[in-house]
Amino acid sequence: MRKGAAPQTATRWGLRVLVVGYLFLLVIWPVLLVARATFAHGLAPVINALRQPEVIFAFQLTLSAAFWAVVINTIFGVGISLLLVRYTFPGRRALNALVDLPLAVSPIVVGLSLVLVYSGRTGWLGGSLEQAGLQVIYAPPGIILATAFVSLPLVIREVIPVLQEIGTEQEQAARSLGASALQTFARITLPAIRWGLLYGVVLSLARSLGEFGAVKIVSGGVAMRTQTATLLVEERYQQFGIENSIIAYAAAFILALIAVIALVIVTAFRPDKGTPR
Amino acid sequence: MTQRAAIVEPPPLDSATAGAATNAGGRRLSRGRSATSLTAASGLGLGVALLWFSLLVLIPLTAVLVQASEGGWSAYWDSLRSPQTFAALRLTVGQAILVTVVNIFMGTTIAWVLVRDHFPGKRVLEVIIDIPLALPTIVGGLVLLSLYGPSSPLGVNWANTPIAVFLAFLFVTLPFIVRTVQPVLLELEPEVEEAAASLGATQFTIFRRVILPSLAPAIASGAALSFCRAISEYGSLVLLSGNLPYSTEVASVRILSYIEGDKLTEAAAVASILLIVALIVIVILDVISRRVARYA
């Protein structure tokens, strides 16, 4: 409970009803309707749908692509955050602004840009990579690249403020007492940024599991080969038949559930955001 | 922040913690730079990071601009001016502006209610604000379809109409202005408002003359993010809008159909517009955050 120039009751109630009504119509009611549609025929068809080989494959592919994208983004994100906060170098400000670019660019543009560079047929680098035996586009490496691209800034945006806040005194002390750079990082810096890093990882994971547009372009979406969970939802929803529709809703429900769990984790544990307490 | 810390810390990057890290000493003494310039190891790290960032982001995005210029200026303009593409761009930009205006009003109101009002269930609303951004976009489309599609309990069917585009944009951009305005509103001193009230200012005057000016930079940042997100939206529209040319087809869908037709130069031309808008938004945000940091 903090500050609050209490406004008149009528205004307050008016705004409260407006906000709750708006959120109810835009988010709450539609989300509840999807949950209801998923279980319209009971639990058994949903479980059955989730055990189809195509569905299992799609979720496995999504999970493994998301895993690698998050690993890459975590290592890259912590490294670039340390460089941006602790060092000065020419172009630092430009780099700081540019790392946000993946969040601002359309997923479709992301997919197109990767195809232009990594496509085996016409890409700048794709031809040579394919000769070296690495197919990127229409294959899992392309899915990982697209996923890593769209979730790239999330770890960085969580870690940078923490690094700025903790300062360098402890790191300096450790170094002056003879700790190596690696020891200092493992014993001092990493424990200090662990919560920020965890939020970044959770956000990246949620974003990676749900990526659709960029993955659609680079993967081709072939069932049992390059079809991720979100692509499966699209394909099955557009096909006729109650079975396909149940599969689409069941997969969408699982994706939504993961997203909401990630959101609750981040909201519940993040200390500096949300309501004052 | 002690003087010693100020010596070794490079100037802050943005507004987030600028207050904590910046003092006169920090600005002046960082000229020396001995402790913040790159060492051999960190230089190598920077090299590796830049190489990865270039391979993943910078080179591919450059490739879009290069591909767009493949046919020269006249081909570039022709592909943007083809009636179907022009209609898609007009719809996208028009709806994005409309949605941003609604968000400026509703986002500020929601942030105000979340900060200044207290009622049971407010914590739940906090989570609900972020749901549109957390949900996979394809699921977002499915969600909107359930209330505004053919089997709507409201009796409306806005699927495959321009209203669907508006709704999808409104859904995915919901959190932006709320989340940029909320922290600023939390920091505002209520004493100033109380002083204004005690001097006889009405509630509306207080809002317009006292609160709104402090919120303006945050609203501007949120509006820029919201506009940028709306024009680049794709996933939530796939199931909802039907992608009908001249009616509900947005820029992203136009790019995709060019890619599927193997017309990469035309695809890159439309993509370059979205990319340039994204770059402009990034620059605007950078400028706003610097200006706020300076006056903080």
DSSP string, B17-84: THHHH--HHHHHHTTT-TTTS--HHHHHHHHHHHHHHIIIIIHHHHHHHHHHTTTHHHHHHHHHHSHH
Does B278 share its domain with B134?
yes
> Smallest Cα–Cα separation from B129: which of B115, B142, B141?
B115
Q: Which domains, ranges and CATH numbers included, belong to chain A?
A: 53-269 (1.10.3720.10)
Chain A to chain B Cβ contacts (< 8 Å): 317
In a domain, B189, yes or no: yes
Answer whether residue A271 shows pLDDT above 80.
Answer: no
Separation CA B270–CA B275 (nearest Å): 9
Answer whether residue A272 shows pLDDT above 70.
Answer: no
In a domain, B65, yes or no: no
Does B167 share its domain with B222?
yes
A108, B271: Cβ pair inside 8 Å?
yes
Check: pTM over 0.80? Answer yes or no: yes
Segment 17-56 of chain B within 8 Å of chain A by CB: 17, 20-21, 30, 33, 36-38, 41-42, 45-46, 48-50, 52-53, 56
Tens-place pLDDT, residues A214-267: 999 999 889 899 999 999 999 999 998 889 999 999 999 999 999 999 998 888
In a domain, B33, yes or no: yes
At B188, the amino acid letter reads L
Separation CA A83–CA A77 (nearest Å): 10
Q: Which two tokens stand for residue A56?
A: 């299992």
- Best mutation target, B42, B129, B135, to test chain A (most A CBs within 10 A): B135
A63-87 average pLDDT score: 95
Does B277 share its domain with B148?
yes
Does B81 share its domain with B201?
yes
Pick from A12, A206, A248: CB nearest B134: A206
Query: Which residue of chain A is at minimal alpha-carbon distance from B153?
Result: A33
In a domain, B66, yes or no: no
In a domain, B38, yes or no: yes
B chain contacts of residue A28, beta-carbon cutoff 8 Å? 128
At B269, the amino acid letter reads A
Does B7 share its domain with B88?
no
What domain range includes position B41? 3-54
**SS3 letters across A10-29:** HHHHHHHHHHHHHHHHHHHH
In a domain, B115, yes or no: yes
| pLDDT at B14 (0 to 100) | 54
Does B34 share its domain with B109?
no
A chain contacts of residue B16, beta-carbon cutoff 8 Å? 160-161, 164
Answer whether residue A275 shows pLDDT above 60.
Answer: no
Does B47 share its domain with B112?
no
B chain contacts of residue A73, beta-carbon cutoff 8 Å? none
Count of domains for chain B: 2
Pick from B58, B136, B228: CB nearest A104: B228
Separation CA B270–CA B82 (nearest Å): 11
Tens-place pLDDT, residues B243-255: 899 999 999 999 9
Tens-place pLDDT, residues A133-174: 999 999 999 999 999 999 999 999 999 999 988 888 888 899
Tens-place pLDDT, residues B152-204: 899 889 999 999 999 999 999 999 999 999 999 988 887 888 888 888 888 78
pLDDT confidence of A1, banded at 50, 70, 90?
Answer: very low
Does B99 share its domain with B156?
yes
> What are residue A170's phi and psi, to 5 degrees?
-65, -40
> What ipTM was assigned to the predicted interfaces of this complex?
0.89
| pLDDT at B18 (0 to 100) | 40
| pLDDT at B263 (0 to 100) | 92
In a domain, B63, yes or no: no
| CATH label of the domain that carries residue B250 | 1.10.3720.10
Does B104 share its domain with B176?
yes
Question: Poorest-confidence range of A45-49, B22-26, B40-44?
Answer: B22-26
Tens-place pLDDT, residues A165-177: 888 888 889 988 9
Pick from A105, A161, A216: CB nearest B16: A161
Does B104 share its domain with B42?
no
In a domain, B62, yes or no: no
Does B97 share its domain with B219?
yes
Query: Which stretch of DSSP H or E encloses residue A180?
Result: none
